[in-house]
Amino acid sequence: MIATKKRIIICWGMGITQQHNGVDMIYNIVNLLLMKGSIGIKGGGVCPVRGHSNVQGNRTLLINHKPTDEQLDALEKFYGFKPPREGGYDVVKAIKAMHDGKIKFMFCMGGNLLSAAPDTTYTAEAMRKLEMSVMVSIKLNRGHLIHGEEALILPVISRSEKDIVNGELQHISTENSMGVVEWSRGVLEPISEHLINETHVVCRMAKAVLGDRSVIDWDRFMNSYDAIRDDVSQCIPGFENYNKRVVQKGGFYLPNGPRDGKFSSEHVPGKASFNVTPVPDNSLADDEYLMATTRTHDQFNTVVYGLDDRYRGIFNERRIVMMNEKDIEKAGLKEGDKVDLFNYDDGIERIAPLFIIVTYKIPQKSTMTYFPETNVLVSINNVVDGANMPASKYVRIKIKKHNPDIYRKVDDHIIAATGTNPG
């Protein structure tokens, strides 16, 4: 299919990145495109499909646990303060640090960490060890129920609501997976006149904590989003004339060296590097399967809007496990049977009870379930090599016929892990 083609674009989503060797697979995607001469030309290149709007933009604007020295130098030069140089925690390391008592305070700008993170019981135990949890949210979610000694929920306006500051309607900007920065603004009336925006939360918090010690004019940021973008244009390459360019139709592209045929390898300056990767061992025991977690059509990340997954032909049920028909027959099961799912990574038994078998066109020994229902089966240590993100598409499980008494065992596990009786 690609042997005679040169203009090749390879797209991938989390089905690649959330494998234990996801980084290696992307290396080999790039290797293939480099061999074909399909990077740095029109109609060729890589195209990662993100799972959320502005994921790429967060990284670009240094929402990152380990910014580079060059990025920190730019902040220090412009603002005149010395940012910390040691790296922070990624999500998995942060959960482990909470569990070990190294983190006492958690501030979440949106999201639902409990339901998005792996190893639900372990994560809940970690969150309960905090001294204080602060959640900035546009709606209630299950994560608000699991917290430390003290907890605050700070409601804010959503992106779809009008954000009016000093009588002026503000607009935000985001970066998509193609590296294009565009603007948008809310159109709905805020649900309450007492709600503020997320920027005001951050600025007010900074003023209260830092006071006169701060070298930042936080009021300036609170009064206009344009002021924030003006500062971004001074600190981050590619954002020159930010406010003028972002309102143009179609926004603007950020610099991308490989897209423009400019390569920079740490080994050979001006050239691209190939990567040699090992062949993974994906062997399974006879009674083991690989499970991938996924979303339904009626779902956005951890927010479930309905019980249907119409693209896969599954309706009115979420606790299902999709299996190959030959695997179902070999296991002595049939479609519609009720089963319990188990994972035994780290020598710990993890249980997801009462799932219904659904026949699906999926490779043998592979299964698929919906998250967050099966996040409980994903060990906190089951991560992507080289990225340390949860390998939620590569989870070893066992499937057993449903035992009505399984809930007692589940409760025992929860009590042992958290000291809390779920009943």
Q: Are 180 and 40 in the same domain?
A: no
* 189 and 236 share one domain: yes
Q: Is the separation of the CB atoms in 365 and 284 below 8 Å?
A: yes
What region does 163 belong to: left with phi over 0, alpha with psi -120 to 50, or beta?
beta
Per-residue pLDDT, averaged over 338-365, amounts to: 98
For the chain, percent of residues with pLDDT exceeding 90 = 87
Closest CA to 193 of 139, 155, 236: 155
Whole-number Å distance between alpha carbons of 399 and 339: 7
> 22 with 111, same domain?
no
Whether 161 and 200 map to the same domain: the answer is yes
State residue 420's pLDDT score. Answer: 65
Distance (Å, rounded) from C-alpha 148 to C-alpha 105? 8
Please indicate, yes or no, if residue 192 is contained in any of the structural domains: yes
- Name the band, by pLDDT with cuts 50, 70 and 90, for residue 416: confident
Same domain, 38 and 60: no
How far is CA 351 from each of CA 62, 101, 276, 310, 319, rounded to the nearest angstrom? 38, 26, 37, 27, 13
Instruction: Give the model confidence (pLDDT) of 370-412 as tens digits.
Output: 999 999 999 999 999 999 999 999 999 999 999 999 999 888 8
Mean pLDDT of 341-364: 98
Tell whether 280 is covered by a domain.
no
pLDDT at 419 over 70: no
Residue type, 300: F
Whether 345 maps to a domain, the answer reads yes
- Chain mean pLDDT for the chain: 94
Q: Which residue has the tokens 């989503």?
A: 13
Tell me, what's the pLDDT at 422?
62
SS3 49: coil
> 363: domain CATH number?
2.40.40.20
Residue 423 domain-assigned (yes or no): no
Which range among 161-165, 298-302, 311-315, 340-344 shows the weakest confidence by mean pLDDT? 298-302
Residues 6+ apart with CB under 8 A from 77: none
pLDDT of amino acid 371: 97
Specify if 26 maps to a domain.
yes
- 40, pLDDT greater than 70: yes
pLDDT at position 85:
93
Residue 3 maps to a domain: no
pLDDT at position 270 is: 85
**pLDDT value of position 373:** 97
* pLDDT at position 411: 84
Residue 4 lies in a domain: no
Region 358-374: what's the mean pLDDT? Answer: 98
> How many whole angstroms separate alpha carbon 423 and alpha carbon 415?
10
Residue 83 is predicted with a pLDDT of 93
In the predicted model, is pLDDT for residue 152 greater than 80?
yes
Query: How far from 376 is each of 45, 273, 299, CA to CA, in Å?
Result: 36, 39, 18
Among candidate residues 182, 173, 185, the one with its CA nearest the CA of residue 253: 182
The total of structural domains in the chain comes to 3
Identify the pLDDT of residue 356.
Answer: 98
Q: Residues 207, 337: one domain?
A: no
- According to the model, what pLDDT value does residue 53 have? 66
Quick count: other Cβ atoms within 10 Å of Cβ 352? 23
Instruction: Please indicate, yes or no, whether residues 357 and 235 belong to a single structural domain of this protein.
Output: no
Q: What pLDDT was estimated at residue 269? A: 83
In a domain, 267, yes or no: no
Under the banding of pLDDT at 50, 70 and 90, the label for residue 127 is very high
pLDDT band at 202 (very low <50, low <70, confident <90, very high): very high
Where a domain ends, among 260, 278, 307?
260
pLDDT of residue 1: 85
| Average pLDDT value for residue range 195-222 | 96
Contact by Cβ (8 Å): 302, 141: yes
Decide if pLDDT at 177 tops 90: no
SS3 223: helix
Rg (CA), the chain: 24
**282-292: b (≥16 Cβ within 10 Å) or e:** eeeeeebbbbb
- Which amino acid makes up residue 70? E
40 and 71 within one domain: no
- Residues spanned by the domain of 366: 289-418
Mean predicted confidence (pLDDT) in 207-216 = 94
- What pLDDT, in 10s, does the model give residues 41-79? 999 999 998 867 678 888 899 988 999 999 999 999 999
- Co-location of 254 and 108 in the same domain: yes
Question: Is residue 143 domain-shared with residue 40, that is, in the same domain?
Answer: no
pLDDT tens, residue by residue, 305-334: 999 999 999 999 999 999 999 999 999 999
Q: Is the pTM of this model over 0.85?
A: yes
Helix (H, G, I), strand (E, B) or coil at 168: strand
d(CA 241, CA 327) in angstroms, rounded, equals 58
- State both tokens at 127: 């969150």
Q: What is the pLDDT of residue 365?
A: 98
**Does the pLDDT of residue 277 top 80, yes or no?**
yes
- Dihedral (CA of 78, 84, 87, 90) sign: negative
Compute the average pLDDT of residues 220-234.
97
Query: In terms of domains, do 158 and 33 share one?
Result: no
pLDDT tier at 267 (50, 70, 90 boundaries)?
confident
**Pair (309, 171) in one structural domain:** no
Please tell me the predicted confidence (pLDDT) of residue 413: 77
Residue 16 has pLDDT above 70, yes or no: yes
CATH at residue 214: 3.40.50.740
Beta strands of 176-256 (E only): which ranges? 180-184, 252-253
